[in-house]
Every structure is written in structure tokens, then in C-alpha cells.
Amino acid sequence: MTHPAENTATAPDGEARPEGASAIGAGPVRRGGLSSAEVAERVALGQVNDVPVRSSRSVKEIVRANVFTRFNAIIGIMFGIILVVGPLQDGLFGLVIVANTAIGIIQELRAKKTLDGLALIGEAKPQVRRDGAAVQVAVAEIVLDDTVLLGIGDKVIVDGVVTEADGLEIDESLLTGEPDPVLKQPGAQVMSGSFVVAGAGAFTATKVGRQAYAAQLAEEASRFTLVKSELRSGIDSILKFITWLLVPTAIGLIVSQLAVEKNDWREAVRRMVAGIVPMVPEGLVLLTSVAFAIGVIRLGRKQCLVQELPAIEGLARVDTVCLDKTGTLTEGGMDVVELRVLDDAAPHLSPEAPLANHLLDDPALLKQALGAMGGADARPNPSMQAVIDAYGNGAGERWRVLEVMPFSSARKWSGARMLEPAGSEASWLLGAPDVLLPAGHPALTEVDELGSRGLRVLLLGRSEAALEDDPAATLEPLGLVVLQQRLRGDAADTLRYFESQKVEAKVISGDSAVSVGAVAASLGLPGAERPLDARTLPTDPEELAEVAERTTVYGRVTPQQKRELVGAMQSRGRTVAMTGDGVNDVLALKDADIGVAMGSGSEATRAVAQIVLLNDSFATLPSVVAEGRRVIGNIERVANLFLVKTVYSVLLALLVVFTHVPYPFLPRHSTVLSSLTIGIPAFFLALAPNNERARTGFVRRVLRLAVPGGAIAGTATFTAYMLARANHATDLKADTSVATLTLFLVAIWVLAIVARPYTWWRLALIGTMGGAFALVLVVPWLSDFFQLSLAGTRDPWTGVAIAVAAGLLLEVVWRVIVRRIGEES
């Protein structure tokens, strides 16, 4: 709260302050801020806010994450062995790994470039006072002793001491866990990571860079990450299991092949490598990273900044979206429609008050009062900005602001103590009518009628009481300021999209419940005709959860209630996304499974959100949901391909160990099979459109499909191999060729199942892979290169018959399992 004696004051150091400026607290402060020379001196000394806040991993981290992996190490060792024993064509799998790793690095570097560019666009630009003027600087350009200015919604960037306070209230809940904002006076400490919820002020930076309290937390929170997602954790669990399975199987395979090929250890080693390499689903991690990275790039083109990569997946799993009306369903700006003088305004004024004599004849005095209040607000919110646009910024010499109480979402009103034109002194309040007026007041009927039409209404009133003495208790209502909110043109279509995707939208707003309900109803939101005033919400968690289940629209919700409603929905097993743009949304954004902030919203909301819509377009959310579903659905699709290969490779290895026969393939055969039935198709399938709704239970579903599929493929291949050996045991090349043909046909059948539903390009993809394998068989130099030669007709056609039988069995098993999964979901 401030007590300026004049509209234009002169500070002790001679610096003029503009009308409505905050009073300066006592103490040795730099009124004009640092000079350019002082800033340069501190920069030279390294006293700058040099915390490397990044939205993506460094190039070094990207290279390390893609190169130094568990399975790359295994494949690298196998490749080294083949280089020793030869020939080179058996080492083709090593070149594939190099290519895959390079693709992963390139795609993530592209994603990094997109993220870093968007983060720069969306980065906060705090105001500091230098050389006597307020200027915007980058966060990294703040230096020690800078005077940093604060307004509603601003995040405290560095630690410091308050030097100016105009009703300055700071929420430190993100640091301390305390939900109540703290009123700060000059001399009080402020910590980085907190944010302003009311008032305005300034502080002197005392700790910058890594010395600041929340520096490490802020750096970690904004770092690009590939963890903490069901998809990633599921894949990691599968890979750990495969690692434990791979070691004993590989040892058994090595021993068996050395025992079988006693006279040719090089052949034994090649067969051993051929058995181990396909057990490794090396491309699965790569494709997951690539799919996420490309998702970031695609969303970046739509001005959507993904601050945490799993947020793409998280929003796709969301079944409830909580929307803050202002800035989400409506645009940030408002327009004043009219100023209605209340019929009973004059009798509520003192008969001696000069204002009463002119009020009913001319509402110009009310407009002047509104203009004076607007001029006193250092950081006007959208409602006050609309008032300023309509009635000006100040009222000349006729009104003198003595004291200011900034708007607070907890109070629901702002106020100013003013010296009126006739010399009388009074407190003027502007705020929510249903908060400032007692229940049953005649004006509330008019307010409800206006609210039911989707209009926003503020009450202008006057009280003799001082601002610190609860002037709302003795308020004399004078007029209604009627505002019209600007609906977003894309809001209705976006709500329809969520409805079609079975994602429930709930509107949680601090505005009047009737007004919020009218806006939501005009957009066709189901349940909007029954809005609930949050002041009637139960405090019992179980009862609150019951109400949250059946209610769609809430009004007069406090910031703490928004947080409690999110928690209540989560307690019922819902996955909740919260959107918002104001400081009253921060706590709920932080607790929601996914927080989505508007780019033009407060800095505090952008800091805690996982996704920032830089273009402020609510219509971007369907794109994020669709991108997440594409990633999840496609990775699950291709995971089946990779794990079917792992299962049949392990099974073949075990069968070879127990039967003491040569392993049926050379590394070159595994390379061509993996490339044509898994590697190349999976790359295209992973990037294809996919609108399937995300579901939990990724690991269970993938294994239930992959294990029987791999078992059928492995059994069919080994059966064809053993039948061929029975006919010509000495011609290992012919036996290998039959096994390769059988496995290819079964694997391509698996691909055909996984690729459903069919489109022209998916059919063309399957056909192209089949054609490529046919070329390998019929083109002499290719068949020689891959050592494939189908001798006679009986064994090849036997292999084909076995593959067809296996394919039909696959169809039956697949349909049964898919039906069961569908019944469980």
C-alpha cells in the first residue's frame, strides 16, 4: 500500500516519479538504478546472472546419450569381432548401428535448435532501472545491485532486498510450500523462484547467478529431458529384462557353436554373432528418441514450446482438461460496454456530498473516478486496462490519489483512497459485485441478468473507511461497469475436438459463476448450464471429489481452490491438464499432471508449465494431443516388431543350444531380415499419423502381442530349418536359405498385422519390402553377397507352407489377444 501525497512526487534524491508511482521505502537505495558504467564494471567482475538455463540438452549430452548406450556397446563388440574373423559383409549390422545413431543425433540436434529458438522467444524480459529509466533486459544480463521492477505475475529472477513496495504480495509456495502470499515491505528479503500475486514494487539484486536460492532448481526444471514417462520407463524395463536374458543365452550359443564347428572356429564365431545381434532391439530406443524429437519440431512450427519432452506424451494421456476462462476461452483483452449508475446510488451518499447532487444527472464524475483509479494502477490487469481505454489514465487535478490497494485474486477487488474534487476524502473500490455486495442486494439481480448474457460486471463503490480498515464492509454502491470479453474464435472448435476424443473439459475461473457459465454455454460446453459458485464447495476431500466428478463449470474459484479441485480429480484416477495465464493459476498448473501456459501470460505460469503456447492459441492444444498420440501409438506399434524379433532370436538360440546344430543364419542374413521386416518399416510407421487414444499398460500390451508372435515365428523358422537339414545336412547354405525365406515370410506377416489399418502407403511399404527381398533372391550378385541360394523346389515350398500356417496362427492369436486387451481397457 502506498501513501503518495501528490500525483507527481519528487523523491529525496530529486528524481521525479510519475503520477500513481509507488512510495520509496527508507534506506540507501539507488533511485535511478545502476549507471551503464557500473553495469559494465560488474559484468567485467563476473557479477552477472549467468545461470545457464536451457530448454534442451547440450550437444555433448546429446552425442553421449545416443552413442554410449548399453546395446551400442554390445553391437560394437560384435562388429569388432566380425572385423577380425571376416568377411566384411557379415559386419553390415555395424554400419546400420552407425547410421541409426547418426539419425538420432541429427534429429535431436534439430529439436534442440527448435527448442532453443522458441525458449529465446518465450524467455521473460524483466525490467530493471538503469540510468534513471526502466529498460527490459535478458535474464542473463541482470547484474549485482541491479534495481529489478516487479508487477503482478512477474517471477523473482534473482535474490534481493525490497526497496519499493506498493501493496507488494509475493507467493513463495514454489519454494517453501506455504500457500499464503507474503506482504513485502521495503527491507524484506525476496527469493528467486517466488512470484508476485498483488501490487508492485522493486528490489535490489543481492545474489545473482549460481548463488541465487533457486538457481539450481530453475536450471533443472527447465532442462530438456527424455525421462519420467510411461513410454520411456516401459521401454527401459523391457530392455533391462532383455539384457539379463541375453547374457546366458549368448554364453550358451557361443559354447554350442564352438562345439558344433570344431574344425572352423571362424564360422562358429560368425554364427554366434549372428545369433546375438538380432536379440538386441537397438532401434527401439532410437525410434522413440526420433519420434519425440520430430514431435518437438512439428509443434515448434506451431509456436508451441515443449519445456519437458514427456509433456507431449503426458497430454496425450490426459482425460480431463481444466481451463481458465480468461485468456483461454476468451482473449486477454476486454471492452467496456457501458457504465450503469445504480438507481439507489444517491441516497447512499451523504446529503452534503457534492457528488450526490450531480450523480444522477451526469455519470461523468464516476468516469473521472474510474480514470483516476486506472492512473493509480502501476500494473493494470485486463479489466482495469479496459477501464483505462474507456475513461483515460488519470483525471487531472480534480482527483488526487492518496493511497492504493492493488487488485488481489483473494480479495477480488482493487481500491484507491482519493481526494475528491470537492475536497472530501474517500476510498473507491472496483471489484466483484457478489463479493462487495451483501446477499440479497437489489443490484445483484441486475448483475446476474448481465452475467447470464456472458458479460462481465464490476461494481464501483465508495466508502469513508480507510483502505486498511475493510472499506468493503461500509461500501456505498454507485455503478456497474459492464465489460464484454472477447471470445476466442477457435475455442468452440477446440472444445468439440476434446469432446470427440472423450477428454472432459472443465472451466475453473475466478469470475462470477453465472458469467462463466454463460461464456461456456455460448461455446457449447456440455454441463455449462449448471455453473457452481466455488464459495459453496465442500472442504471435505471426499465430498469435494464427488462434486468435481459431476460439475463442469466453476466460478469464484480462489487459487487454492483451483489447486484442490485438480487434486480432487486426480484422487479419482483422472489424468489432469491445467491451462492458464495468470498468477492465480500457478498452484494448479504446478500440481496438474500437465501444465499449459499461454505465452503472453505471467512469467510465473510459464515457469511452472510443461508446455507454453507462444502464440496464445488455445487451438494449438489439439495438435499437442495429436502429436502425443502419434508418438505413443506408433512407438507401441513398432515396439511389437522389435520385440517379436528379440523373442524369436532368443528362441532360435535356445533351440540351437539344445539340439547342437549350427545356428541357421550368418550376420548378413540377420541384417537383411532386420532391415526389411523391422528397421526400414519401423522408421516410417513411427512417424505416421496416429489418432488412437493413449492408454496405460504399455509394457503388458506389447509383451502380450510380441511373445506369442516371436514364439510362432521362431518355431516356424526352426521347423523349416530342421526339415531342410534332414534332406541335405551337408549343404548349410541351402538350409540357411530356406530358414531365411521362412522367417522373412512370417516376419513380413507380422509387419502386415502391425501396420493395420491399411492405407495406400502402408500397403506400398509392405510390398516394397517384399520386392526388395525377392531381388536379393533372384539377382545373382545380391544372392552371392548374402549367400542365399534356394536349392530345388520341395524345401523352399515347404518353408512357404510352414510360413503360411504360422501366419494364419498369428492371425488367430493376434485377434484373441487384441480382443482381450480391448475388453480390459
Write out the catalytic residue numbers. 324
> What are 765's three cell numbers?
511399404
Q: Pairing mode, if any, of strands 320-323 and 195-207? A: unpaired
Degrees (nearest 5) of the Cα angle 499, 527, 513?
125
Other Cβ atoms closer than 10 A to 716: 26
3-state secondary structure of 232: helix
Strand 320-323 and strand 504-508: the pairing is parallel
> Three cell numbers at 797?
515350398
User: Are 748 and 800 within 8 A, CB to CB?
Assistant: no
Verify cis geometry, omega within 30 degrees of 0, for the bond prior to 689.
Answer: no
Please work out, in degrees rounded to the nearest 5, the angle formed at the alpha carbon of residue 377 by the alpha carbons of 371 and 378.
135
User: Burial level of 751, CB count in 10 A (0-12/13-18/19+)?
Assistant: buried
Q: Using N-to-C axis directions, what is the helix angle for 732-754 and 621-659, rounded to 10°?
A: 150
Q: 304: burial class by Cβ within 10 Å (0-12, 13-18, 19+)?
A: buried
Cα 589–chain centre separation: 11
Q: How far apart, in whole angstroms, are the C-alpha atoms of residue 730 and residue 655?
A: 20
Q: What 8-state DSSP symbol labels residue 22?
A: P
**Residue for grid cell 501513501:** 3
Report the C-alpha gap between 370 and 392 in whole angstroms: 8
CB atoms within 10 A of CB 282: 24
Residues with Cβ within 8 Å of 522's Cβ and at least 6 positions away in sequence, in order, are: 454, 487
Classify the C-alpha dihedral 760-765-770-774 as positive or negative: positive
Contact 733, 787 (CB under 8 A): yes
Our CA dihedral for 47, 48, 49, 50, rounded to 10 degrees, sits at -100
Cell of 659: 539340439
Dmax (CA) for the chain in angstroms is 120
H or E element in which residue 133 lies:
strand 133-136
Secondary structure letter of residue 21 according to DSSP: P
558 and 409 in contact (C-beta within 8 Å)?
yes
Cα–Cα distance between 680 and 561 in angstroms, integer? 51
* Secondary structure (DSSP) of 172-225: -HHHH---S-EE--TT-EE-BTBEEEEEEEEEEEEE-GGGSTTHHHHHHHTS--
DSSP state of 694: P
Please choose, from the candidates 127, 144, 132, 137, the residue with its C-alpha nearest in 3D space to the C-alpha of residue 46.
144
788 HSE (CA, 13 A, CB side) = 28
CB distance 277 to 75 below 8 Å:
yes
| E strand or H helix that includes residue 800 | helix 794-824
Query: CB–CB of 53/222 below 8 Å?
Result: yes
Contact at 8 Å (CB) between 507 and 448? no
Q: Grid coordinates standing for 268?
A: 562358429
758: helix, coil or strand?
Answer: coil
